[in-house]
Amino acid sequence: MSDLPVIRLRPRTRPQAIRHGFPWIYADEAVLDRRTRSVAPGSFAVLEDDERRPLALVTVNPASKIVARVMDRDPEARIDEAWLRQRIARALSLRQRLHDTPFYRLVHAEADGLPGVVIDRFDSAAVIQPNAAWADRMAGQIADALAEVTGVTTVILNGQGRARGLDGLDERIEVLLGDAPAAPVGVPMNGAVYLADLMGGQKTGLYYDQRPNHAFAQRLSANAEVLDVFSHVGGFGLAALAAGAVRATCVDGSAAALDLATAGAEAMGAADRLETRQSDAFKAMEALAAEDRRFDLVVCDPPAFAPSRQALEAGLRAYERVARLAAPLVAPDGYLVLCSCSHAADLTQFRNVSARGIGRGGRRGVLIHTGQAGPDHPTLPQLAETGYLKALFFRLD
């Protein structure tokens, strides 16, 4: 402890939240004097309350709104490769109980005790997103620990996305261990096959968080005409085909993502039942309405329209618009699935704007199921941001 700098909470800042599991210290909660501001981003420090009592070992980034993140409740902990191996091994033990194939979210940031770190596993390969300065600085050690614990032979760093910018990190993609995959990786999930581009795809190449919602949608897909809007590499559409859908139409703005959806359908022997449309999603839904198309199941899984509180109002309007345009495309007694991955929009807000949008689209419906991310995306109860995903399943009259 004597070798580390000290970060102190301001007077009247309640330390109980930290003691009870909240993992972040915001800039307005800490004493940011000249000494503190000179600490290099990603360094470690001891967090003290305003009476100088140690609370935890933290990682510090004076340039971020989240000035410190709790690494360990033990102020005397040493963050080294042994510490990393222990955290990764604990995360792995949960995933091995949850899944019988090596395709899953292995580390879900603060919820797995690795602040700002996301790791998705693709059999012998893994993709790391280091979204905090400490993890970016120690990416090589994380890769080595990951390989030792899991046996993966390829580790890729995908340093893209809004979260890195908030911590002052540049975008970069590089291979930390092994060789870059020569082709997209096939991922079996819910009876479907998805193709994940680990070097050039969005995020880590595939969204594992929707796995249980894909499975629920499959219950509604047999002998159905399905529309998957904002489909990425075919998420709900390919799941529907695996469950016996008559046809799935995938809409996305990315030609590369739709090519991967087509390749996935081919790998499943279902290419003749897949239709793709490269288009802006809103324009595509308007065009389908003009064509008088109707579908037994319509799914809309857009990007985060409300990634921050500042974007909340605009984001809620966008979600309402999605519901308004999608509802008329649903056949009588068909199903509409609306998803949000915006942590700034809570479940109640999202449900309210979705219902309003359905009404403004001239339809009425009942909510039959509310889904969330799968258990390989655990939620830290103290941190709402870890419970970001919401999926609403409506039956429309």
What is the set of active-site residues?
Answer: 341
Q: What tokens were used for 286?
A: 């308007």
Q: Rounded CA gap, 104 and 185, in Å?
A: 13
Beta-bridge partner residues of 129: 118
Amino acid at 12: R
In the block, tokens 């990190």 appear at 169
Q: Which of 126, 145, 131 is nearest to 82 (CA)?
A: 145
Q: What tokens were used for 253?
A: 């703005």
Q: What tokens were used for 227?
A: 């529309």
Calculate ∠ Cα 301-319-23, nearest 5°.
75
In the block, tokens 């739709």 appear at 258
Amino acid at 9: L
Q: Under DSSP, is residue 386 helix (H, G, I), strand (E, B) or coil?
A: helix
Q: Under DSSP, is residue 385 helix (H, G, I), strand (E, B) or coil?
A: helix
Amino acid at 165: G
Amino acid at 20: H
Helix (H) or strand (E) holding 192: strand 192-196
DSSP state for residue 30 in the 8-state scheme = B
Beta-bridge partner residues of 369: 393
Q: What tokens were used for 283?
A: 């324009």
**Three-state SS string across 3-17, please?**
CCCEEEECCCCCCHH
In the block, tokens 């909240």 appear at 22
Q: Under DSSP, is residue 59 helix (H, G, I), strand (E, B) or coil?
A: strand
